[in-house]
Structure 1
Amino acid sequence: MRSSNRLDGVTILVTRPKEQAAALTSALRAEGADVIERPLVAIVPRGDEATVTALATITRANCDGIIITSVNTVAALATHAKDAARSVKAFAIGEATAAALRDNGFNDIVIAEVSTSEGLFDTIESHFGSTLATKRFFAPASSKARDFITHALDDAGAIVSTVVVYDTLAQSEVEALPDKTIDWVTFTSPSAVHAFLEALALPEGARVACLGPTTRNAARHSGLIVDVAPDSPTIASLVDAIAAATETE
């Protein structure tokens, strides 16, 4: 009798930061996959006075929107922002980011129709229309974040205040991969792609799965052949895409 688990006998490498790997690992194992975790980057929040002060000053009186591009940004924002910030409209990339915002008391959320910085700008532009040039935004971000959104808003005449709230650092030591066949390598961020290529080599025969178009583009620009990359940046979409590609082999 054939197993109902779509990934039985499939070995998959998860490269997410240690504190974020559980959701993807659990979803893959629920489908029968043998999962190997190798965290390649660490998320290090900034707690310096300038960062804390900047986050604590966000209110509807001085900000028309908060730009949120990742779950990591939400953690820093929720830690240091005052309650007044939670009434400011948040513009987010991805349902996971929006869910993290809701979990931390932010309820006025607009999700980008396309889960990229370009898509987020288009959503913001559509939301405000001709009044965009009069608006003020706050953009907490990673030290390695793309700056497209801030430049695009600036070019549109809006005022954007950017503050780095966390650093994405490559792990100084990465354990070697086991001597076994690895069927899939998963990437959920551009920083993981870059750290992987610095620390490890793509196992022979392994296929590449990326979460979302931004990570997919980073992998392709780094010379990797991307086999699956669902446009929807959710764990469920990534697992479904891997399972579908595996079943058609």
Structure 2
Amino acid sequence: MSREVRVAVFRPDDERLDEAVELLDSLGATPVPDPMLAIEPTGAAPRIDADYAVLTSKTGVELAARAGWKPADLTICAIGERTARALREAGYEVDLLPEEFSSSGLVDALQGRVDGTRIEVARSDHGSRVLTDGLNDAGAYVHETVLYELIRPPGSGGSVERAAAGELEGALFTSSLTVEHFLDAAAERGLREEAIAGLDDAVVGAIGDPTRRTAESHDIMVDLVPETASFEELACEVVEAAAPSYRD
């Protein structure tokens, strides 16, 4: 690599952050881990008096299993492959996996088959309304159970200072909430404008269009959105854009 590529990553401080750091290391970049999300379980379990159950994350599946969720005749839907894998590992069947791993992709997959049915959506307190509104528009009766809340961990925000000092070549935003929490941490430090200016000089990647729109609504210029909403593609594209010689 022709220069050091320091890349901020904001995933929760669990195996997802470990995997992200390992991936960036393998790409020859210097990871700047700064978890912007922490999970606080609510203790709730998904309802079983529905026709469909929608799980949207690995965390949600693990919490549902821990709460003793025992679906009987529900059609179980996973929003993506990671969630589907977690469901199978927890002993649940996966009846539907959309071609496009997104809220809109799942709505499209269920369109025309859920009119008049009851759908249980079990997820975090920051789930996209695209999913619930889309299922309502398709004629379903939608109930949402909040399995966990997403908060900003105490002490987060080291990447803000690196951005403000011009010490980041890349940043990987994986949800709208990571953008908002980054900016909250910047505001706490009195560095909001400086951090945004620092990101302008870096390669900023957003995992999907909703995350891109959130960033751009706060004056953060997004340089790329991968065609597939996967962290691996996001990281690879940002590192490649920041230092095209990294594969050499």
Question: Identity, % of aligned pairs?
Answer: 28
Which residue of the partner structure matches residue 190 of structure 2?
A: none
Counterpart CA distance in 1 for 2:129 and 2:182 is 23
Contact 1:94 1:234 survives alignment (8 Å)? no
Q: Deviations over 1:188-230 (max 9, x none)?
A: 1111100001112243522211223332222222221111211
Moved more, 137-146 or 229-238: 229-238
Shift of 1:247: 4.5
Contact 1:98 1:109 in 2 (8 A): no
**Matched pairs, number:** 230
Give, as a single letter, the amino acid of the residue that structure 1 aligns with 2:135. L
1:218–1:81 Cα change, 3 Å: farther
Moved over 6 A (4+): none
SS in 1 for 2:83: helix
> Is residue 38 from structure 1 mapped to residue 20 from structure 2 by the alignment?
no
Q: Which runs of 5+ in 2 are unaligned?
A: 187-194
Superposed, which structure 2 residues align to 1:140-155 within 5 Å?
Answer: 140-155=122-137
In 2, are the aligned partners of 1:116 and 1:214 still within 8 Å (CA)?
A: no
Deviation (angstroms), 1:88: 3.5
Structure 2 residue aligned with 1:74, among 41, 49, 61? 61
> What residue number does 1:23 align with?
19
Mapped contact 1:12–1:183 kept (Cα < 8 A): yes
TM-score, normalization by structure 2? 0.81
Corresponding position of 1:188? 174
Post-superposition CA distance 1:3-26 (Å, at most 9, x none) = 6xxx97211111111123111111
TM-score (norm 1): 0.81
Please tell me the residue identity of whatever aligns with 2:226.
P
Q: Establish whether residue 10 from structure 1 lines up as the match of residue 5 from structure 2.
A: yes
With 213-222 and 16-25 compared, the bigger mean Cα shift is at 213-222
Q: 1:228 to 1:181 in 2, by over 3 A?
A: same
Contact 2:172 2:205 in 1 (8 A): yes
> Do structure 1's residue 159 and structure 2's residue 110 form an aligned pair?
no
Match of 2:106 in 1: 120
Give, as a single letter, the amino acid of the residue that structure 2 aligns with 1:153. L
Kept after mapping to 2: 8 A contact 1:67/1:92: yes
Q: Which runs of 5+ in 1 are unaligned?
A: none
Q: Tell me, yes or no, if the aligned pair for 1:93 and 1:116 is still in contact at 8 Å.
A: yes
